[in-house]
């Protein structure tokens, strides 16, 4: 059952968005997030929604797949909505017991909820349309100017990609350990959450031990394959900015400009 967890939220595709350079996409997401916090009117929020809708349409990732990503954070969105609803003074809309809902509160609550949803959907579009390896490579290249300040960008990217690579392996390992313990009478299925959580603890110890063992093997195999740090390493698929990346950059520039304009004018 544990293997059913889908990892790496990548949605295979060959759309214009998929083929953009990962660096472009990472920066575009940062710009988009900045835009979300710059705008302060409903009109601005509508503009952000339209932009995201356009990106989703171009990427051809199915909407149902995208909305699934919202499920785990639904409670947070709801909580933000309710808190904002009651926290603002202004013209009274209605009164429930000692709580007052104001027009301003309602406006604020809707605004914040939409911002949160767009924030999550916008950033998940990056992982939906970029292979994990592309993401880590993109990060490495974007961080590389910091190497002069002593930030080991190449090593950080290598660590991230190995971590991604080992998620399925460690899940399998967990599954194996759980089965071995179930065979000897361990019970993971009954009891309340607390009881069940406590019963999970004995899984962690062997899991950590095997993770360390794997790490040791892995380090040896990497050395045997001549890995000596990121210095002097080349890439099979060097990243290149294409014309579409320039186009994307211009579009994101226009978007950011519009957001700033909205902030100043409205």
Partner 1 sequence: MADFIEIKDLVFDYINEETGEETRAIDHLCAGISEGSFTAVLGRNGSGKSTLAKMINVLMLPTAGSVMVDGMDTADEEHTWEIRQACAMVFQNPDNQLVSSIVEDDVAFGPENLGMEPAEIRQRVEKALAAVRMGKYRRKALHQLSGGQKQRIAIAGAVAMHPRCILFDEPTAMLDPQGRREVLEIIRRLHSEGITCILITHYMEEAALADRILVMDHGTICMDGTPREIFCQPERLRSLGLEVPLAVDMAARLRAHGLPLPEGIVTIEELTEGLCRWK
List interacting residues with partner 1 (CB under 8 A): 8, 131-133, 161-162, 164-165, 168-169, 214, 217-218, 220-228, 232-238
Nearest approach, Cβ of 135 to partner 1 (angstroms)?
A: 12
Cβ proximity to partner 1: between 145 and 168 the closer is 168
**Contact (Cβ atoms closer than 8 angstroms) between residue 122 and residue 114:** no
**Residue 100 phi, psi (nearest 5):** -120, 130
Which helix (H) or strand (E) segment is 217 a member of?
A: helix 193-224
Nearest approach, Cβ of 64 to partner 1 (angstroms)?
A: 23
- The β-bridge partners of 100 are 95
Residue that is written with structure tokens 């409903």 in the block: 42
Nearest approach, Cβ of 101 to partner 1 (angstroms)?
A: 50
Cβ proximity to partner 1: between 187 and 223 the closer is 223
* 171, two tokens: 């899940």
Q: Is 100 helix (H, G, I), strand (E, B) or coil?
A: strand
Cβ proximity to partner 1: between 143 and 170 the closer is 170
**Contact (Cβ atoms closer than 8 angstroms) between residue 135 and residue 115:** no
Cβ proximity to partner 1: between 71 and 231 the closer is 231
**How far, in Å, CA of 264 to CA of 261, rounded?**
5
Nearest approach, Cβ of 139 to partner 1 (angstroms)?
A: 15
């Amino acid at each position: 059952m544990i293997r059913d967890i889908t990892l790496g939220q990548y949605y295979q595709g060959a759309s214009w968005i998929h083929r953009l350079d990962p660096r472009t996409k990472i920066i575009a997401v940062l710009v988009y997030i900045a835009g979300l916090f710059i705008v302060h009117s409903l009109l601005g929020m509508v503009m952000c929604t339209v932009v995201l809708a356009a990106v989703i349409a171009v990427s051809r990732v199915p909407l149902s797949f995208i909305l699934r990503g919202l499920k785990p954070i639904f409670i947070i969105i709801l909580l933000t909505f309710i808190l904002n609803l009651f926290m603002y003074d202004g013209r009274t809309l209605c009164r429930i017991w000692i709580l007052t809902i104001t027009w301003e509160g309602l406006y604020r609550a809707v605004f914040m909820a939409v911002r949160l949803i767009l924030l999550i959907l916008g950033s998940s579009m990056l992982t939906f349309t970029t292979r994990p390896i592309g993401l880590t490579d993109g990060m490495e290249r974007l961080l590389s100017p910091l190497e002069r300040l002593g930030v080991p960008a190449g090593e950080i990217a290598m660590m991230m990609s190995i971590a991604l690579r080992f998620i399925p392996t460690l899940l399998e390992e967990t599954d194996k350990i759980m089965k071995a313990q179930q065979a000897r009478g361990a019970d993971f299925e009954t009891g309340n959450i607390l009881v069940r959580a406590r019963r999970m603890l004995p899984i962690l110890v062997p899991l950590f031990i095997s993770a360390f063992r794997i790490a040791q093997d892995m380090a040896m195999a990497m050395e045997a394959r001549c890995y000596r740090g990121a210095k002097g390493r080349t890439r099979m698929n060097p990243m290149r900015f294409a014309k579409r990346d320039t186009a994307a950059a211009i579009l994101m520039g226009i978007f950011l400009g519009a957001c700033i304009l909205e902030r100043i004018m409205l």
